[in-house]
């Protein structure tokens, strides 16, 4: 099995040398296998978004290195190896829903016909088939978030970086989207790094759950989750509850500062 993401000795200090200096991440060593589903969980402000943005080459580390598919993170960004779902939906007001989903395809030079076929498929996937001609402002927050997920999935990136993508969704839509994400993950063999605040969500989706501790953000524990093929029944499986309990205990330990 090849490797998708390697972080070694990764440090990130914001505003170094100013009085607003924040040590966001310190000494992160993490290896994500190709095709793996890894979740990041931890208290607010512990550096989860920062870690994703380092992998995405949107910010530079102050120490250590990141490689993505054996390339520098920078090269991987230029090659558009990843798709990112940001914590805020970040849709463009001036583009209709379909045009928002098609934006990365447009930048990659897809033909108009291919683009609109794909955006239709994606809108079906996120259960918004009737909203392609709407503007983002005419959608609720959760609907906008689903459009932004559709946009990230539209070009089938080898790596998906998702920052609390389901945070704004109601429970049923959330479970539906989790199922869909797992289906896409299985079918395309993509690698996922997934930030969440939800323990059951992390347990249900992931092969491994990375528990971070805050200030500076460090990897506290990595919880392995082995539930085999996930189905809706998995949500009631004792194994699933056991995994959730292990994650919860790790988080408690983080909160207690041990």
Partner 1 sequence: MKFRPGALAPPLVAGVLFLGAWELTVRGFGIREFLLPKPSSIWEQLVDQWPTLRHAGWETGRIAVSGLVVGILAGVLLAVGATRFRTLQEGLTPLAVAVNATPIIALAPIFNAWFGITGSLSNQAVVVAVVFFPVFINTAKGLTEVHPDEIELMRSYAAGEWTILREVRIPNALPFFANALRLVAPLSVIAAIVAEYFGGPQDRIGNVITSNAGFARYDAAWAAIAVASAVGLALFATALLVERLSMPWRLTEGYGETEN
Ligand X SMILES: Nc1ncnc2c1ncn2[C@@H]1O[C@H](COP(=O)(O)OP(=O)(O)OP(=O)(O)O)[C@@H](O)[C@H]1O
Query: What does the binding site for ligand X look like in residue numbers (CB under 6 A)?
Result: 14-15, 22, 24, 44-50, 87
Spatial distance between the Cα atoms of 43 and 35, rounded to a whole number of angstroms: 26
Question: Which residue is it, tokens 């969440």?
Answer: 196
Q: Compare residues 66 and 223 and give the one whose CB is closer to partner 1.
A: 66
C-alpha atoms less than 13 angstroms from C-alpha of 23 in its C-beta half-sphere: 12
Kindly tell me the number of DSSP H helices and DSSP E strands found in the chain: 8, 10
Q: What is the DSSP string of 79-93?
A: TT-EEEE-SS----T
Sign of CA dihedral 160, 163, 165, 170: positive
* Residue 156 Rama label (left phi>0; alpha psi -120 to 50; beta): left
Contact 211, 247 (CB under 8 A): yes
Q: For the chain, how are helix, strand and coil distributed in percent, rounded to 5? A: 40, 25, 35
Binding of residue 90 to partner 1 (CB under 8 A)? yes
Binders of partner 1 in range 134-173 (CB under 8 A): 135, 137-138
Q: Which does 167 bind (CB under 5 to 8 A by kind): ligand X, partner 1, Mg ion, none?
A: none
Binding residue for Mg ion (CB under 5 A) from 26, 39, 49, 148? Answer: 49
Q: Compare residues 48 and 174 and give the one whose CB is closer to ligand X.
A: 48
Q: Which does 15 bind (CB under 5 to 8 A by kind): ligand X, Mg ion, partner 1, none?
A: ligand X
Least Å from the CB of residue 164 to Mg ion: 6
Using CB under 8 A as the criterion, what x/- string covers residues 217-236 for binding partner 1? --------------------
Q: Which does 133 bind (CB under 5 to 8 A by kind): partner 1, Mg ion, ligand X, none?
A: none
Binding residue for partner 1 (CB under 8 A) from 18, 20, 93, 109? Answer: 93
Binding site for partner 1 (CB under 8 A): 53, 56, 58, 77-80, 82-84, 86, 88, 90, 92-96, 103-104, 107, 135, 137-138
């Amino acid at each position: 099995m090849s490797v998708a993401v390697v972080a070694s000795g990764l440090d990130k200090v914001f505003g170094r040398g100013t009085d607003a200096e924040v040590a966001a991440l310190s000494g992160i060593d993490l290896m994500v296998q190709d095709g793996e589903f890894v979740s990041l969980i931890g208290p607010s402000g512990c550096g989860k978004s920062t870690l994703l943005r380092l992998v995405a080459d949107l910010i530079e580390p102050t120490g250590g290195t990141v490689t993505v598919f054996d390339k520098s993170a920078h090269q991987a960004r230029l090659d558009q190896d990843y798709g990112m779902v940001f914590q805020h939906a970040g849709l463009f007001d001036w583009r209709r829903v379909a045009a928002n989903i098609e934006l990365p395809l447009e930048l990659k030079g897809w033909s108009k016909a291919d683009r609109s076929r794909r955006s239709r498929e994606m809108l079906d996937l996120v259960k918004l088939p009737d909203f392609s001609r709407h503007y983002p402002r005419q959608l609720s927050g959760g609907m906008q978030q689903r459009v932004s997920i559709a946009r990230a999935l539209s070009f089938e990136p080898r790596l998906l970086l998702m920052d609390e993508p389901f945070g704004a969704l109601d429970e049923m839509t959330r479970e539906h989207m989790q199922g869909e994400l797992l289906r896409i993950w299985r079918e395309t063999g993509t690698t996922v790094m997934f930030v969440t605040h939800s323990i059951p969500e992390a347990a249900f989706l992931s092969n491994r759950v990375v528990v971070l501790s805050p200030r500076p953000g460090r990897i506290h524990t990595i919880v392995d989750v082995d539930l085999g093929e996930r189905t809706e029944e998995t949500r009631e499986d004792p194994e699933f509850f056991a995994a959730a309990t292990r994650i919860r205990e790790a988080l408690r330990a983080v909160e207690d500062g041990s």
